[in-house]
Structure 1
């Protein structure tokens, strides 16, 4: 790499951008944790059955399909970039499209989860709920990295990232998949009993 002189103004703008990203991550993390806590707390007070329960289950599963389907799409294209089959510019462009589906689906799951009469004294349910919280926070923790990736050259490869960025990306990918699959499997197991 060559040294490119940067003005003080550019450095100041970069620092301000980093601070605003940090504030955004903190705010979104607090909002996600509050929404999760509200959903779990309300689920202890709300008990439904019959048609309302069945409707909640249908909307919950549809929200899951939308959110997880979008996650699989993003993670798959990220993997293809990792092995050199996609360009970074494609990944950055693709990342913006499913984001509303992911967060909308997650909001739908939290909203309908209130009406599913969860057994909060069941350890598996607690693990599932923890996985949902962790996957939400994990998605938010990707924001700073994705903003940094957006500033790289369109043809940048995975190997062009710093070691910290590579670890951050891979760790978020593993956490995402582990939490989603944990929540899905436990959800279906709990639905059987």
Structure 2
């Protein structure tokens, strides 16, 4: 979508500006989609059959998106400790990205039909975690564009400090937000 693991081409300086513009547009789009889902949720009065379908789609979407995230993060960890090459990790990330984003989109769509209790503080935390994880994923685009042009044998330790910090922060934020949303979702379902 935003970078190519197969071309291995160097991006000119103006592409970095276009990356920033793309990130801005995608962040606004993601925030608007999130806001639309949150605002429409109270207006949707889904009956039991629709709600049951929405719960099924929500769980499948969670498995799809989070499962792909876990696989990419695990593979990234293996690269971090020197057990995989950068090219393998980038290739896997490129293959998993459509699964991650389609799972996230389905979570937003199906979540609007689940009649979330917006007055519940835990629900607000969950919804905030979903927004942060979407924005966090978008913020990885410039880093991935830089990584894709590096030699196949690049190690984590050889990256500039700023890129290592960026990567570790995004990883931590991603995991924290996904786990928070999942745990709160299951707790709220029991209430």
TM-score, normalised on structure 2? 0.94
Cross-structure match for 2:53: 55
Cross-structure match for 2:124: 126
Question: What is the SS of the residue equivalent to 1:153?
Answer: coil
Q: Please list the CA deviations of residues 126-178 of structure 1 after superposition, one character each: whole Å capped at 9, or x if unmatched.
A: 00000000000000000000000011110000011000000000000000000
Q: 2:172 aligns with which of 171, 174, 181?
A: 174
**Greater Rg by CA:** 1
Q: For residues 1-193 of structure 1, what are the structure 2 equivalents within 5 Å?
A: 14-193=12-191
* Cα distance in 1, alignment partners of residues 75 and 87 from structure 2: 11
Alignment root-mean-square deviation, CA: 1.0
1:49 CA drift (Å) = 2.6
Q: Which has the higher contact order (CA 8 A, sep 6+)?
A: 2
* Cα distance in 1, alignment partners of residues 80 and 21 from structure 2: 29
Cross-structure match for 1:8: none
Question: What is the SS of the residue equivalent to 2:140?
Answer: helix
Aligned length: 182
Give the ranges of 4+ consecutive aligned residues of structure 1 lying more than 4 Å apart after TM superposition: none
